[in-house]
Structure 1
Amino acid sequence: MKKLLLLIAVLFVALESMAVDPQIQRDLNAARNLARSGKESEALALYEKAFYEHPEYQAVFPYLRNAYMKARMYDKLIEACTIVLKIRPKDVSVRLALGQAWASKGDKARAKEIWENVIHTHPSNRSYYSLVAYELTRNHMDEDAIDLYLRGEKTLGQPHTFARELSRTYERIGDYKKATEELLNVLLIKPKDAFRVERELKRLMSRSNRSTVLDIVKSRAEKKSKWPVIHRILGDLYLLEGEYDQALKEYGMTGAEEPLWELAERAEREGLYDTALHSYESLAEGKSKYSTMASFRIGTVLEASKKYEEAINAYKRFIHDFPRDPRVSQTKYRIGFVRVNGLSDPQGALPYFQSLADSRAREGVGLDSKFMIADCNLRLGNLRAAATELESVMEVAPSSRVFFLLGEITYFQGDFDSALAIYDKVANRFPESDYVNDALWRHVFISDNSDNRKHLHRIAGAQRLLYSRDYDSAIEDLKALLRDAPGSSLADDCILLVGEALEGKESYNEAIAAYKDLLNLCPESRLRPEAKRRIAELFAERLNNKKAAIEELEEVLLKFPDYVLASTVRNRIEELKAEDHP
């Protein structure tokens, strides 16, 4: 279309550039000024004066034609065209204008006859097919334009030379099947236009039946199995539709690795781990710029899909195959992290973190490793060793995370006054951190139960077991406390922690039952809204029952309007509704 408009512009510029009588030029300039001032009728009069006095001057006609079209004076334009054609019978621009005048009058058959005559006198000129087809389409004669394009391809002996124009015309009349087929034909003559064709295909999918477009591209790919560009496009369309396995298959037939990498990353982000894993494995087998990183990402995908032993093996292979890669330290950290958080093996994780802490003590990975050493020791019950490690980190990089874990250790040790002081530091020194709410929650809990230190010691011990993921022992201790002190002010906290331990064991229905026990047995408890919120999250995230989750959260707002996390609950309701009805 741009080339066509440029051609028309060039024709008119060429006409205007021819020599013009000075008086005519003055009349034209005056007429243009009048037109710009909104004095259209006066401008038209000057154009007519210049034309009828000197119809042989080519520069005059374009202005008169435009003025007549704007004023809808089609008979006058036909008269002017007839005069010019007697002087220049082969002038294509005038013949096009004559056809437009008849079309504007409503006689499209006469217009088509005039335009077809242009083709008849120039049967081997591709540009004239484009010019005439343009006139046909802008006058809503799309079927005639399609016929002309097809005849042009045959006459010129240039298959698919008008493929793009045909695609757009078919689209205008709603024939998306043929629009897609012609768009793919563009690739036969201009394979370098692949990205542009793909954009157009995606636009067609957004306007029509998506499966129609996809099926046509798929059919073309099956017929041309050794044509990489069509498989790349089909892979991209599958990716757009979320059909990742199909995308992986198509990308594998292209030999190109960039789209395969994009697929792998997107699949990993969206939790489609099998597809991501297969993509990374394909990339890792090659020797491209992606192979090393793909080898590392195999481990991250296996870790995310909870295949912890396989993830560790993948990370170890990476270290063996790429010992000098800068990601080796990060890989060792991931092995330790998976051991402690995935396999609940803090003892097995310690050597990895210790090696990083010793070699990179003041770097990010070294400091993170020292924190994880403290975490491992805490899980193993070595509270003093954990505290010592955190104190060494605090000297270099004090943070809310370090302070909070130190507070937890102090709390688990039963030194409640010191723990309160540390939680205060978290709130005061790091008011915007992620640990503030947990620190404040713990502070309130200790303060509210300061007169019941004996039971507080026992519940702190149970919470340490929870931290160590010794869920059965934690449940046993909590239930023992409930039996020993059924009327204790800590009864509701004990029940809530039992539910938390059951969640850790992945006994989700039992956890819901525990939280419901809290609601039924402790009608005055401040923890009731929290219990309902946790029930809702279990329904949403573990039991795939968003409707029940929304109902629970709406009850929280209805029954506990002053709940401290009310705004969070409202936001969560909106999130779940959006997920349920995307």
Structure 2
Amino acid sequence: MLYRSIFFTGLIFLFFVDIGISQNRDFQSANRLMQQQNYEEAIPILSELHEQNPSSYVYFDRLIDALINVNNLNRAEEIVQKQIERGFVTLQAKGKLGEIQHMKGNRDKAIEIWSEAIENNSQNIQAYYTIASSMNNRREYDEAIKTYRQAQEIHNNQTLFLNELANTYMQAGRFDESVSEYYRLILESPRQMAIVQQRFFQMQDNNLYEIASFELEDLMMDLSTSHEAYAELYQLLSWLLLETEEYERAYNFARFYEEETSYTVYSLFSLGNRFLSAKQFPFAENAYKYYNESTNLTTRYRSFDELSNTYLQWAQYAEQNNLVPADSIRVLYQKSYDTSEELIDQDSDYQQINRVLARLVDLSLDIFKDPEDAEKWFSKLQQNAGSDDPYTLYAEGRISIFNNNFSRARQQLARADRATDQSDLSEKVRYFSALSDFFAGDSEFAEIQLRSLERRNSSYYANDAIKLRIWIQDGLRADTTGSVLDSLGEGMFSLHTGNFNNALEILEPIWDNPRNPFADDLSVELTSTLPEDFTAFKLQLLNRQIETNSQTPLLERLMWDRALLVEQIVNGRIVINRNLSAEDKFFSSDVKTEFTRDESEEFFEDLVISFPDGFYASYAREKLQQFQNGYLQ
């Protein structure tokens, strides 16, 4: 008898398991049909599942959604009414019933149904959430807000539904009230900050960001820095200010935060990195300078390192795009060098001293063309880190390139790349390794090195990598023997090492022919690299390229370079001395080298007219404004 009972119990269990598996399979099929918007085919499956399981909210909810999507509101209403009569998931059903009435145009009836549901379940917190969600689904935001507020009053808890209230205000476009609720939420629960920031990010609305930043700034001015939510709120504020490009406000508040605390919170330090990413170099400079006199020596020395790096990136960006006169760029490079040198004088045991010494090697070679100075810093680096340190290997490779020892450079740079786990150093190593191969005439191997680097579009060297690889590809197409690339590599090496006259002699077949495929790129390269003694030659080169090759993609850059050069001549920042012979061999005497203020202004006007939305348009308009201000003085 016992065995027979166990046997029948097992059969019943297997029967229900089989039914469950079958229903789950049917529900998955219905879901797939819903995702494919085949609602008509999904409805019979969901109807059967609902009839078999009337107490299941999942089947009920999906069936109602399917009926609504095919606009069969009458049948949807019948099923909801029946569900209410059965007493299954009554609250959710009444929420759905209100939505259906609203869709049928019976707004007052919908509000009445929702209100009645709340009145009958006033002590049930879930009821407020369910009904307000239905209201939001029908964009009845004001009614939803009233419902959430009613819940707070009845349950005497002003922290209820803060997130839901904020989201509803946001959907209603009531940004002031929305951000106020979000900030109350963060004050109550600082961990919610990431969710709030994500919500702001999803909106992508500058008006919202401006309102949110002003509201938050006012709130934080009255809030104690010791409040548990202050740090999270500050992170949100700095993000909002950077998103709206309010860089000065971001700097000022970060400084206020730092000065209001009795300990270092590094608010300006973290902001400095973000200023660098946004190319806001003056603000980054001020952020790091703040810590130069810190009593915390670790912080002070790190600020010198970051400040030196800021000057370097500032100079490189300005030079790459020719945004300021050459003498201003030179000053920035000198500041980077001096700041690094001062750091070494103050603390020769600084944690990142190897990076600083390698930077000094770079500056000595790239900017000052002084291999002896580079050797001095390399010796200190070798003594400090040893011969196998990646920075030592990199520095030795750089010096080997300058000294025309390309095989040694390739070996040391390859070793440096294998030895480092720092992406910044690896990018520099790969670029200069490729450049060394290009100088040595091994263009194909250089191209291989460049492919991986140019994919790192955040790298400073990515643009240079792309440019060099295009040169190699164009050179091989123009001359499969590689002789053009050999000459180009040899000439560029002379530029790299400061042998400018020799470089111009080697490169003359290219720059002297405006139709040469490399002439435009080389004109930009020579204009940005040659020193002041070659100003007249640079004007001649730019004029010829602009007049001869008006369809070049580099026309805007060529016009900007010429306008900036002429402005410097007019302002007396460049003086062309006819007694200098640096460019006599290459200079044509009929090139105009004297200009009036009006002529200088006209060059910028021509640029704006030709490229009103170009990269340099905003810079040119700023120059024109400066001219106008000058006339008013």
Normalised to the residue count of structure 1, the TM-score between the two structures is 0.59
CA 1:498–1:93 in structure 2 vs 1: closer, same or farther (change >3 Å)?
closer
Partner secondary structure for residue 123 of structure 1: coil
CA 1:274–1:84 in structure 2 vs 1: closer, same or farther (change >3 Å)?
same
Equivalences for residues 85-484 of structure 1 within 5 A: 92=91, 96=95, 99=98, 102-103=101-102, 106-206=105-205, 210-224=209-223, 226=225, 227-254=230-257, 260-282=268-290, 285=294, 293-305=302-314, 306-325=331-350, 327-356=352-381, 360-361=386-387, 363-371=389-397, 373=399, 386=403, 423=441, 426-427=442-443, 432=448, 444=483, 469=498, 474=501
Query: Which residue matches 2:559?
Result: 539
Residues in 1 aligned to 2:217 and 2:160: alpha-carbon distance in whole angstroms: 23
C-alpha distance after superposition, 1:38-72 (max 9, x if no partner): 69679969988x99xxxxxx849997898688463
Q: Following TM superposition, by how much is the alpha carbon of 1:29 offset from its aligned partner in structure 2, in angstroms?
A: 12
Residue pair 1:99, 1:114 contacting (<8 A) in 2 also: yes
CA 1:446–1:163 in structure 2 vs 1: closer, same or farther (change >3 Å)?
closer
C-alpha distance after superposition, 1:199-220 (max 9, x if no partner): 2123334385543443333343
C-alpha distance after superposition, 1:98-124 (max 9, x if no partner): 655655654333343343234334434
CA 1:192–1:529 in structure 2 vs 1: closer, same or farther (change >3 Å)?
same
Q: Which has the higher contact order (CA 8 A, sep 6+)?
A: 2
Partner secondary structure for residue 307 of structure 1: helix
Amino acid in the other structure paired with 1:313: D
CA 1:245–1:182 in structure 2 vs 1: closer, same or farther (change >3 Å)?
same
Q: Following TM superposition, by how much is the alpha carbon of 1:143 offset from its aligned partner in structure 2, in angstroms?
A: 1.9
State whether structure 2 residue 75 is matched by structure 1 residue 73.
Answer: yes
Residue pair 1:78, 1:98 contacting (<8 A) in 2 also: yes
C-alpha distance after superposition, 1:447-490 (max 9, x if no partner): 99xxxxxxxxxxx9x9998666476xx49x989xxxxxxxx999
Q: How many percent of aligned residue pairs carry the same amino acid?
A: 13
Partner secondary structure for residue 73 of structure 1: helix
Query: Which residue matches 1:18?
Result: none
Residue pair 2:97, 2:113 contacting (<8 A) in 1 also: yes
Q: CA RMSD in A?
A: 5.9
Residue pair 2:542, 2:562 contacting (<8 A) in 1 also: no
Q: Following TM superposition, by how much is the alpha carbon of 1:351 offset from its aligned partner in structure 2, in angstroms?
A: 2.0
CA 1:312–1:294 in structure 2 vs 1: closer, same or farther (change >3 Å)?
same
CA 1:371–1:357 in structure 2 vs 1: closer, same or farther (change >3 Å)?
farther
Residues in 1 aligned to 2:84 and 2:497: alpha-carbon distance in whole angstroms: 97
CA 1:343–1:137 in structure 2 vs 1: closer, same or farther (change >3 Å)?
same
Normalised to the residue count of structure 2, the TM-score between the two structures is 0.55
Residues in 2 aligned to 1:203 and 1:249: alpha-carbon distance in whole angstroms: 27
Residue pair 1:198, 1:233 contacting (<8 A) in 2 also: yes
Q: Following TM superposition, by how much is the alpha carbon of 1:182 offset from its aligned partner in structure 2, in angstroms?
A: 2.4
Residue pair 1:502, 1:511 contacting (<8 A) in 2 also: no
Residues in 1 aligned to 2:215 and 2:19: alpha-carbon distance in whole angstroms: 58
CA 1:279–1:111 in structure 2 vs 1: closer, same or farther (change >3 Å)?
same
Residue pair 1:171, 1:179 contacting (<8 A) in 2 also: yes
Residues in 1 aligned to 2:376 and 2:162: alpha-carbon distance in whole angstroms: 65
Amino acid in the other structure paired with 1:232: Q
Q: Following TM superposition, by how much is the alpha carbon of 1:81 offset from its aligned partner in structure 2, in angstroms?
A: 6.5
Q: Following TM superposition, by how much is the alpha carbon of 1:264 offset from its aligned partner in structure 2, in angstroms?
A: 2.1
Amino acid in the other structure paired with 1:278: N
C-alpha distance after superposition, 1:361-418 (max 9, x if no partner): 5654444444555677xxxxxxxxx46x66766787799979987998xxxxxxxxxx
Residues in 1 aligned to 2:523 and 2:48: alpha-carbon distance in whole angstroms: 93
Residues in 2 aligned to 1:447 and 1:31: alpha-carbon distance in whole angstroms: 74
Residues in 2 aligned to 1:62 and 1:427: alpha-carbon distance in whole angstroms: 65
Query: What 5-or-longer segments of structure 1 have no aligned partner?
Result: 1-25, 52-57, 377-385, 409-421, 449-459, 480-487, 546-574
Amino acid in the other structure paired with 1:515: L
CA 1:505–1:66 in structure 2 vs 1: closer, same or farther (change >3 Å)?
closer
Q: Following TM superposition, by how much is the alpha carbon of 1:235 offset from its aligned partner in structure 2, in angstroms?
A: 0.6
Residue pair 2:96, 2:134 contacting (<8 A) in 1 also: no
CA 1:406–1:278 in structure 2 vs 1: closer, same or farther (change >3 Å)?
same
Q: Following TM superposition, by how much is the alpha carbon of 1:500 offset from its aligned partner in structure 2, in angstroms?
A: 3.8
Q: Following TM superposition, by how much is the alpha carbon of 1:142 offset from its aligned partner in structure 2, in angstroms?
A: 2.3
Residue pair 1:65, 1:77 contacting (<8 A) in 2 also: no
Residues in 2 aligned to 1:29 and 1:304: alpha-carbon distance in whole angstroms: 63
Residues in 2 aligned to 1:406 and 1:73: alpha-carbon distance in whole angstroms: 76
Partner secondary structure for residue 205 of structure 2: helix
